[in-house]
Amino acid sequence: MKPTLPLEELMSPGHLACQGCGAGIAMRVSLKALGRDTMFTFPACCWTVIDGPFPYSCLEVPLLHMAFEATAATAAGIKAAMDALGKDKTTICGWAGDGGTFDIGLQALSGAAERNDDIFYFCYDNEAYMNTGIQRSGATPYGAWTTTTPVKHFKKEAKKSIDDIVAAHKVPYQATASVAYPEDLYKKLVKAKDIRGFKFIHIISPCPPGWKARPEDTVKLARLAVQTGIFPVYEVDGGKYVQTMKTPTRKPVLEYLKLQGRFKHLKESDVADIQRMVDTRYAELEKRFQGC
């Protein structure tokens, strides 16, 4: 059988990710597409820890750790320097969690997107502040338990639509991806590498401790997120929406929710509410998909 992804690994096995960490898979696959001529900056996020403590690093590319809200501006600064130094071929990436993207880093993200800085901005989305111990973020979905949305007062607000916020900036390329579909993510990055300007990649990355799920269910959950329509996987290339992982018959959201302890307090009526929200959101998005 011919491998579907390059065999070279730029992320070594000695990292500090939890068992079943989706963010680990996201990085491993992304690096296969980006290659060695790549530089990263990370804000405070799980990857601050996953990379390994000083003086260790599990990555074979340069990495600048940075403050929480500064990812996009820092990447823009690195890119400007590389341009000034005549090394404009190197791919510059900001790599942030959902808190650093949806919440505290949103201003810098918007600034870089509006300026159309020639960088990749990755958001690996585990839907809460996982590194600080599972507090709700703007990416936490309706109905979820977190340590700051306890069961009695589970999260009553819907997940912020970061993809629509980025799309409003009319960036040259943006995509969603799931760690369950590495070939899809790989293809998108290989394509986006040749696009000049701001590229936004949003990857759903299950978190077993934060979602109270079994580590062995990570890929299954990342797949169900797509198959239920909770996290549609698509790209927006020059304004054109294309659904890259099609879901002609969507599975009920319950199949996804029931594998996660963070949703176990939900009543049947709550699940029905979520199903309705997902249906509405999916229908809105479906209208934008072309060439399906």
Point out which residues bind other proteins (CB under 8 A): 36-39, 41, 48-49, 51-57, 59-67, 69-70, 72-85, 90, 107-108, 110-111, 114-115, 117
DSSP 103: I
Closest to other proteins by CB, 60 vs 217, is: 60
Instruction: Tell me the sheet residues that pair with 11.
Output: 59
Considering the complex, state which of residue 1 and residue 84 has its C-beta at the smaller distance from other proteins.
Answer: 84
Can you list the alpha helix ranges (DSSP code H) found in the chain?
22-34, 46-50, 71-84, 98, 106-115, 162-167, 182-193, 208-211, 218-227, 253-257, 268-286
In terms of DSSP bridges, do strands 63-65 and 38-42 run parallel, antiparallel, or are they unpaired?
parallel
Comparison of 16 and 245: residue with beta carbon closer to other proteins: 16
CB 109 within 8 A of CB 101: yes
d(CA 140, CA 149): 10
Question: What pairing do the DSSP bridges indicate for beta strands 38-42 and 91-96?
Answer: parallel
User: Least separation, in Å, of the C-beta of 82 and other proteins?
Assistant: 6
Toward other proteins, which CB reaches closer, 23 or 39? 39
In the complex, the smallest distance separating the C-beta of residue 54 from other proteins, rounded to whole angstroms, is 4
Whichever of 69 and 184 has its CB closer to other proteins, that residue is 69
Cβ 114 to other proteins shortest distance, Å: 7
Residue 88, φ and ψ in degrees, nearest 5? -80, 0
CB of 246 within 8 A of CB of 233?
A: no
Give the angle 22-292-226 at the CA atoms, nearest 5°. 20
Q: How far is the CB of 12 from other proteins (least distance, A)?
A: 12
State the minimum distance, in angstroms, from the CB of residue 92 to other proteins: 8
Judged by beta carbon, residue 31 or residue 259, the one nearer other proteins is: 31
- Neighbouring residues of 229: CB distance < 8 A, sequence distance ≥ 6: 247, 250, 253, 278, 279, 281, 282
- Give least dist CB 21 to other proteins, A: 16
Shortest reach from residue 140's CB to other proteins, in Å: 25
Contacts of 202 (CB under 8 A, 6+ apart): 123, 125, 162, 163, 166, 174, 175, 176, 177
Rounded to an integer, what distance in angstroms lies between the CA atom of residue 95 and that of residue 133?
20
Cβ nearer to other proteins, comparing 79 with 199: 79
Minimum CB distance to other proteins smaller for 28 or for 79: 79
Sign of the CA dihedral 158, 164, 166, 172?
positive
Tokens encoding 189: 């990055």
Q: How far is the CB of 291 from other proteins (least distance, A)?
A: 35
